[in-house]
Amino acid sequence: MQSSHFIQTNSNSRRRSQSEFLPTAMRVVFALIVVCALLIAGFTFYPEWTRLSAMKHDLALQTTRLEELKKSTSQHEQEVHLLETDKEYLELIARDRLDLMKDGETIFRLSSSKPRS
């Protein structure tokens, strides 16, 4: 009679250990599935994320370059306007660039470190 009691107790402990094992195993499997899904999402979106970052950096550089070109264009347009409308400015530029002088004038050139354009 004692042997049947021992068998019954042993099977109860197996049931208990199985009932505790299944939820733990399910949690581990669920955690692995979540980790795998995150890794797949990371590998999928990381190249696009880096490409987007590079494009934003390039856009900032291009915007800066555009602003510089707008300033330069504005200065050139102003100079063209002065050359077309202001005779004194035209004469000054022509005399300076072509080394011309009026009768009775003396030109003094001081050397500078920066080149003339």
pLDDT digits (tens, 9 = 90+) for 26-46: 999 999 999 999 999 999 999
Residues 74-103, mean pLDDT to the nearest whole number: 88
CA geometry: angle 7, 10, 13, nearest 5 deg: 155
Per the rule left: phi > 0, alpha: psi between -120 and 50, beta: everything else, 104 is left
pTM (2 decimals)? Answer: 0.50
- Whole-angstrom CA distances from 108 to 27, 45, 67, 99, 104 are 91, 67, 38, 11, 13
Looking at residue 52, its pLDDT comes to 95
Q: How confident is the model at residue 1 (pLDDT cuts 50, 70, 90)?
A: very low
Looking at residue 55, its pLDDT comes to 97
Looking at residue 11, its pLDDT comes to 55
Up-side HSE of residue 97: CA atoms within 13 Å toward CB? 7
